[in-house]
Chain A
Amino acid sequence: MSRPEEISPPEIFYGDVEASKYTANSRIKSIQSQMTQRALELLALPEDDTAFVLDIGCGSGLSGELLDEAGHVWVGVDIAPSMLEVALEREVEGDLFLHDIGQGFGFRPGTFDGAISISVIQWLLNADSASHSPPQRLNRFFTTLHSALKNPSRAIFQFYPNSDDQVQMIVTAAQRAGFGGGLVVDYPNSKKARKMYLCLMVGQQEIPKALDGTTDGMEVDGQGLGMEKRREEIRNERKRRKDAAGGGKKGKRGKTEVDAKEWILKKKDLYRARGKEGVPRDSKYTARKRKTYF
């Protein structure tokens, strides 16, 4: 199945027909509600307290219904009028806005206790008109969202990226806007159940753990700040090595000290941590010299 964001802009794709289809489909419904549940879990709002939550790309209010059930007061924004109409028919509790999130929000600073967004921000990466520039729209979106959230609070985005480049682009834009946090990938080894959540935080907080299917084998794909730390470590490591080598003769720069295999393994680890595709497995053949043929 091709991806909806490759077909047409969101306000056209989710027209009357698609909007009612979307909301009537029980499979979509159950997936959406599962993801919303998980997003709410990651959002970690204080229990038993009513919070003021922003639902970005609320659509027909499938996620809003769960927010209602949890007793939160919410505001939903979406760009597709047909979807909002369906939401009105379904009589959800929240306030609905027709809004292009790429144009930024006008909410006063510190308004919301949290924000969720289910399968939306990948749409921001499309340039649907000549004047749209995805980096600019992402930037505007994240900066205005950052100021609309109170400190401390979280924003959870579930999304379907097309490639690693897209993930990188979104994460950098969020970091530039001042958010902390990073990616949480649930069930990273399953093709079907794999879900990406971007957990953004205002203020100092820790990234939540990802689900893995097993009880204890949790894995966090620390693309965000974790990555930054890692890079720092590597830089330090390199510096330390240089310093140690610099004790002897200056001309050699400690080239011989590093084992070739170690170096290759470290590089491969680094690539894996960065999420690069097609990094070869480690085996007993790793870093072996090839036979010389003539």
Chain B
Amino acid sequence: MVRLITHNMLACHVKNCTKDNFPLVFSEVELVIRPAPENLEFIQRFLPKLDWTALVDTARSLGDTSLPETMPDQITEDQLKALHHVLMEMHIEEGNMTCRNCGHVYPISNGIPNMLLAEHEVGR
């Protein structure tokens, strides 16, 4: 049940992995669409927190091309609806998330990503 809203907030937390550790790259993904009640006001308020490029790249890699390349200055309602679909309704059930910098793989099984680190990877 990794939604893209959470994925957009998630960086790699391995020790000394501080550069280029976001976004985590999906691979071997099993995607499930689950309708969720719309809350466009929340999405609107959430906009400043989003990393737009990362979101669009990830959405495209998952086969959703409804979002424009750059963040629109004045967002329309249709765009908000598309955002809602991408952020809240796309769930990753199975697959892997890989850090682009250190290559750590976070496996997702049954909708739950395993974020546990090995002892030597834990930061101080």
Contacts and interface: CB of A to CB of B under 8 A. Distances in A.
Interface of A: 49-50, 52, 71, 73, 75, 77, 79, 81, 84-85, 88, 93-100, 103-108, 110-111, 129, 131, 136, 140, 144
Contacts of A104: 13, 122-123
Contacts of A95: 1-3, 6
Contact of B124 (A79, A111, A136): A136
Nearest to B7: A95
Given A111-B49, A140-B122, A103 B13 contact: yes
B9 A98 contact: no
A197 B61 CA distance: 43
Per DSSP, chain B at the interface is loop
Contact of B42 (A50, A129, A140): A50
Contacts, number: 80
B115 A108 contact: no
A219 to B, nearest CB: 37
B91 to A, nearest CB: 9
A42 B2 CA distance: 28
A99 B35 CA distance: 27
A50 B41 contact: yes
Contacts of B39: 50, 71
B12 A106 contact: yes
Interface residues of B, number: 33
Given A50-B39, A98-B116, A136-B124, A106 B11 contact: yes
Interface string B89-124: 000000000000000000000111111110100111
Nearest to A74: B6
Given A75-B6, A95-B2, A95-B3, A140 B114 contact: no
Contact of A99 (B1, B22, B110, B116): B116
A207 B36 CA distance: 36
A73 B38 CA distance: 12
Given A50-B39, A50-B41, A98 B113 contact: yes
Most buried by A among B5, B9, B10, B114: B9
A89 to B, nearest CB: 11
Most buried by B among A84, A104, A140: A104
